Structure 1
Amino acid sequence: MLEIFHWIENLGYWGGLAFLFVYIVATIAFIPGSVLTLGGGAIFGVLWGSIYVFIGATLGAIAAFLIGRYFARDWIGKKIEGNQKFMAIDQAVAQSGFKIVLLTRLSPIFPFSLLNYVFGLTNVGLKDYAIASIGMLPATVMYVYIGSLAGDLARIGSDTPPLDPPLQWTMRIVGLVATIAVTIYVTRLANKAIAELNIK
């Protein structure tokens, strides 16, 4: 994975597009996106890293959704056969598709990669599914933030001296703590809402 990150970093302006492509392929291939998200933060920083990761994850999720809906229904159906959690999701989606997709995006208790395909088997519309992907933002920003800090720390040991004064580092750490706190709070709210819908 480090080789891929170095390759992307050396592409200059094309690095963002290459990162998007890698993220989309990884999402379709069930490769956990956490490492890529951290890498996005290390390479592009918080702002652009969050943008690239969110776009890549959303496009990858839409691609997996369409594959699950039109090309791999039987295979996905067999993988989730008898799973009570996914059966409950299917029933809940029938009543409120957008809300369920949004809540499961906010909650880390559902496997992101498989869930993309599973939603393709439900009645949720593509538009609602795509818009509800905004639920990925809190966790995305948190992981990108962590990756950005890790990248900056790694550069401290390089020949190039760090550009950030202590005050800026303090602000970054405070920002990270605040981001983590917000993410945890939003996750708890989502988990509570999901529990009330009897999706366990």
Structure 2
Amino acid sequence: MKNMENKFFRINWQKSSQLFLPMLAIITVVIAILFHPESALAQTAAPTTSFNPQVILRNALQWIESLGTVGALAFIGLYIIATVAFLPGSILTLGAGVVFGVVWGSLYVFVGATLGATAAFLVGRYLARGWVANKIVNNQNFAAIDNAVGREGLKIVLLTRLSPIFPFNLLNYAFGVTGVSLKDYFIGSVGMIPGTIMYVYIGSLAGNLALIGTDSQPSHPTIQWAIRIIGFIATVAVTIYVTRIARKALAEEVKINDEV
């Protein structure tokens, strides 16, 4: 471990930053198409015998939207289930922006993700410890994180949440086999907030984009879109900045623990 090189942390940030905004723009347009009222993709999918998590989650979001005030509880429950079941939470996070807007969508996603992550953590610790250990036993990067967790549990959980370098669903289970306490793990979930807000914001923009040309279009779209775009750019900038700091701090923490 002492001589292990953590190549995972060595990223060309300049190149990544150049690609980041164009990729987000493409994602926003795609989501807008998916949720456009007149789009065939926005309608309930025809019954199919194949298992398609994306279609299932999208249809679930449409059902949740029809529930009104009860939809928030249904969404949180769905997010918990998706997190434990390894279903793609990104679809739900983006969809929350479309259905609930930025503020409430971010809140519901954070609550659902935190409770779901905690449930997965407990399953990994008490019910599926052997299975989880077999999944990560040959992952050198996680081995480095595991050593660091033994010394700075809360700090490492927080940094990995701020800088999502591992698959979210697997990481929840993986932390269950480490020495981190449930309290530190739960508190460390606040690190998900910047990324959550950013992706919910993307979903919200996509939802507003889908309203263009419909009766629900805002009366002063230019001003409102200018405000939304400025807010979006600021959110992305802050998220990238925080992620860079967290990734650097995590790499340094792992290096220190490798040398101990």
Query: TM bucket by the smaller chain?
Result: over 0.9
Displacement, 1:108?
A: 2.3
Partner residue in 1 for 2:133: 77
Deviations 1:92-111 (A, max 9, x none): 01000000000000112211
> Structure 1 residue 47 and structure 2 residue 47: aligned?
no
Displacement, 1:4?
A: 1.2
C-alpha distance in structure 1 between counterparts of 2:111 and 2:97, whole Å: 14
Q: Is the 8 A contact 2:58 2:91 kept in 1?
A: no
Partner residue in 1 for 2:218: 162
Matches within 5 A, 1:76-155: 76-155=132-211
Displacement, 1:198?
A: 3.0
Q: Is the 8 A contact 2:154 2:185 kept in 1?
A: yes
Displacement, 1:163?
A: 4.4
Sort the Cα spacing of 1:163 and 1:6 in 2 relative to 1 into closer, same or farther, 3 A.
farther
Q: Match of 1:113, as an amino acid?
A: N
Deviations 1:92-142 (A, max 9, x none): 010000000000001122111101001111111111111110000000000
Percent of aligned pairs with the same amino acid: 64
C-alpha distance in structure 2 between counterparts of 1:157 and 1:81, whole Å: 53
State the SS of the aligned residue for 1:132.
Answer: helix
Q: RMSD between aligned alpha carbons?
A: 1.4
User: May I ask how many residue pairs the two structures share in their alignment?
Assistant: 200
C-alpha distance in structure 2 between counterparts of 1:162 and 1:170, whole Å: 13
Length-normalised TM-score, structure 2: 0.74
Match for residue 6 of structure 1 among 56, 59, 62: 62
Displacement, 1:35?
A: 1.2
Displacement, 1:164?
A: 4.8
Length-normalised TM-score, structure 1: 0.96
Q: Match of 1:197, as an amino acid?
A: E
State the SS of the aligned residue for 1:15.
Answer: helix
Larger radius of gyration: 2
Sort the Cα spacing of 1:50 and 1:163 in 2 relative to 1 into closer, same or farther, 3 A.
farther
State the SS of the aligned residue for 2:211.
Answer: helix
C-alpha distance in structure 2 between counterparts of 1:76 and 1:25, whole Å: 18
Runs (5+) with no aligned partner, structure 2: 1-56
Match for residue 171 of structure 1 among 222, 227, 234: 227
Runs (5+) with no aligned partner, structure 1: none
> Structure 1 residue 15 and structure 2 residue 71: aligned?
yes
Partner residue in 2 for 1:181: 237
State the SS of the aligned residue for 2:151.
Answer: helix
Displacement, 1:5?
A: 1.4
C-alpha distance in structure 1 between counterparts of 2:220 and 2:82, whole Å: 33
> Structure 1 residue 193 and structure 2 residue 259: aligned?
no
Displacement, 1:67?
A: 0.3
C-alpha distance in structure 2 between counterparts of 1:98 and 1:158, whole Å: 48
Displacement, 1:162?
A: 2.6
For structure 1, which segment, 81-90 or 154-163, has the greater mean C-alpha deviation from structure 2 after superposition?
154-163
Runs of 4+ aligned structure 1 residues displaced above 3 Å come to none
C-alpha distance in structure 2 between counterparts of 1:2 and 1:61, whole Å: 21
Deviations 1:15-51 (A, max 9, x none): 0011001111110011121111000011000000000
